[in-house]
Amino acid sequence: MNSAPFKPILYLDCFSGLSGDMIVSALLDVGVPFTVIEEAVSALPLSGYRIRHEKEIRNAISVCRFFVAVEEAKQPHRHFSQIRDIIEGSTLNDRVKRTSIAIFEVLAKAEAKVHGTTIEEVHFHEVGAVDSIIDIVATAAAIDHLNATVACARVPLGRGFVNTQHGLLPLPAPATLAILEGVPVEGTDVESELTTPTGAAIVKALATQFGPIPPMTPTRVGFGAGSRSLPNRPGILRAVLGQNHSQRKFLLVVFTNEPCKRNHAFMHALDLSQHGHIVKLLIEGEATQCLGEREGKFGELFALADQKGLIAGACKTAAHGCSTGDLSRNVVELAKQQNIQLISGMREHAAIGDYVSSGFELVTY
């Protein structure tokens, strides 16, 4: 059976918080070549910095550290529009440009909200400096290299106060908390900043899910260290790269004589297949046919021989278009007519919302 490749998952286990340098460090340790970072950074029209990485032992764990050394000359406080122009004017590929700008846009919206201005007018201070620009662009380039979807643990937050360009601010920093609206977080008793605005913006822009590690087969684990190690938090970010198990297989069984309803089913199957799922389609109606391999979009068709009752049970409410009263026999006969190999395996079944009334059922396995 052929199926479309599914992107790997990169899970960020942020038990000690998140910052830009921690994320880049972890991505290097999980397998991104340093040349990927070097080439991305050199594509920016910036100067007055040097980057390097090294290994060290932190809490008896071998970790990677990513460093950006900036010349002592004071860096300017850039607007979002200036940073966007720097990125758009670079020789980065379009994917990395879009990702980098999306991260900065998250930052800009949060800063604008906190300071009561617009994203075009807001000044970036710490995050407008060369080192923060490099952290964000390096992250975007590394994710592009891995071609992975990003998942993240709940984001831990410290307490207390932090000195900034705006003076003494409470922790979590106002911009950090504004960025994390809608993101699962957890408070701690740590009297220090655990998650920075840059770290928060990166996961807000990139992560598709937050919480426990998702179903996956780990293929590589990396550890990235930040600049600080606290007594009760080692200042380490763990990155887990693995095979994605979220791909689902669907058997779409259609019982209807109405072309418009069949078309509805076809479009739903196509949408599922375009999101990386394997879709099998069985049609019974006025023109009984299978659409497997149709324009290469649906893949080969098959049914589940040893659980015919489950298939029939899932289809009963949509049986008004059936030619006989034996739903399981209909499915099996359709499979035989189309030379579909009957296989068995673990699965679950589910009807999808009001699709039942449209004459078809979706069975997952």
pLDDT tens digits for 130-173?
888 999 999 999 999 999 999 999 999 999 998 877 788 899 99
**Residue 294 pLDDT > 90:** no
Q: How far is 357 from 14, CA to CA, in rounded Å?
A: 45
State the chain's mean pLDDT as an integer.
75
With 0-12 CB in 10 A as exposed, 13-18 as middle and 19+ as buried, what is 6? middle
Residue type, 233: R
State how far Cα 65 lies from the chain centre. Answer: 24
DSSP state of 321: G
Q: What is the mean pLDDT of residues 4-23?
A: 88
Q: Where are the domains of the chain?
A: 9-244, 249-364
pLDDT of residue 221: 98
pLDDT of residue 281: 58
pLDDT tens digits for 296-313?
332 233 333 223 332 332
pLDDT tens digits for 253-280?
555 556 566 566 666 666 555 555 665 5
In the chain the first and final C-alpha atoms are separated, in Å, by 15
pLDDT of residue 61: 94
pLDDT of residue 265: 61
Q: How far is 349 from 150, CA to CA, in rounded Å?
A: 28
Q: What is the mean pLDDT of residues 24-53?
A: 96
Q: What is the pTM of this model?
A: 0.69
pLDDT of residue 163: 81
The residue ranking higher by pLDDT, 2 or 129, is 129
pLDDT tens digits for 199-215?
999 999 999 889 999 88
Q: Which residues of 156-185 are buried (b: 16+ CB within 10 A; e: fewer)?
A: bbbeeebeeeeeebebbbbbbbbbbeeeeb
Tokens 């995050």, located at residue: 127
pLDDT tens digits for 77-125?
788 889 999 999 999 999 999 999 999 999 999 989 988 888 887 777 6
Q: How many residues does the chain have?
A: 365
Asked if residue 258 lies in contact with residue 362, where contact means CB atoms within 8 angstroms, the answer is no
